[in-house]
Every structure is written in C-alpha cells, then in structure tokens.
Amino acid sequence: MEKLKKARTRKTSNNKQSTYILLDVPTGAKLDQLSLAEFKKLIFYVGVSCRMKLRLNDYASKTRRDMAQYIPLDPKSKTKVVAIHLDDLHSNQALGLEYAIMFDMRCELTNVDDSGQANQVMYLRDPDIVTRISKLALNELFAKVSSNVLSF
C-alpha cells in the first residue's frame, strides 16, 4: 500500500490525451475471439496520460518497479503484459475509464489516487461505466489487431 500512496497526480494538458489499458494476456490468446467479459478479466490497470507514446518506456520501468506486486511475472505462467493506448476518447469517457478498473493479485479494486484514497465508491455507484467504456476499448483493440498494429 505504501507504493500506491506514492502515485503521482495525473498530469493535465491542452494537448491530446491518451487512454491506456494494461492487459495480462496469456500467450497464444486469440484476441479477435474475446468476449467483453473475457476482455474485462484481462484488464489490470487503466489510466489516462498525455503524450503516452513519449513516456511509454519510462512508464514501463515504473510499472516494473512500482506495480510488480500486482503483475504475475512468473515465466511459467506464460503471460505477457501488453500496453494499449486509445486516443480521442471524450473527457468523461477517459475519466470513467481511468476510474474503472485496477485489480491486484486478489482481484480487488484498488484504484488509488495520489492521496492514497481508493476510487472504489465511483465504481460501485455506477458499475455500467466499466461495461460501456470496456466496449469502446474492445472495439478499438479489435481494430488494432486487424490492422496488425499490435504484435504478440
């Protein structure tokens, strides 16, 4: 929990923001055959970041350092961590997506802001945010898979 309390405040900018989803995808998974429920189970972190592409390498190292306790890194599990960024969501969609899901190893909602407070209340108050936004993300994922933007 100490590491989560050190989380940074989300940076705001007038430039285009990107929404990113971190998935724990089993090796050999057929992404074009995922159902919405299966897709949501793969998500373990969702966030909004400006200029995601420029900070992706830095973010990856921070993920390894700060979030390793939430990621199954055992090579025997044959899983890969995949980052996907989705541009041009409306601000309320991006906010809903940011607050939607962050699962730890016990599958508990632990989306924590920079003050260490859990955002569980918003999720429980409006659970259809997760479904609605995940549908957008899943559609975008299929578009990227079919255009071979993602490589596994």
Whether the pTM exceeds 0.75: the reply is no
Length of the chain (residues)? 152
Q: How far is CA 98 from CA 29, 73, 113, 125, 148, in A?
A: 25, 24, 10, 15, 26
Instruction: Encode pLDDT of 115-138 as tens digits.
Output: 444 444 333 444 565 566 667 666
Q: What is the pLDDT of residues 52-103, one digit of tens each?
A: 444 555 555 555 554 444 444 444 444 444 444 445 555 555 545 544 433 3
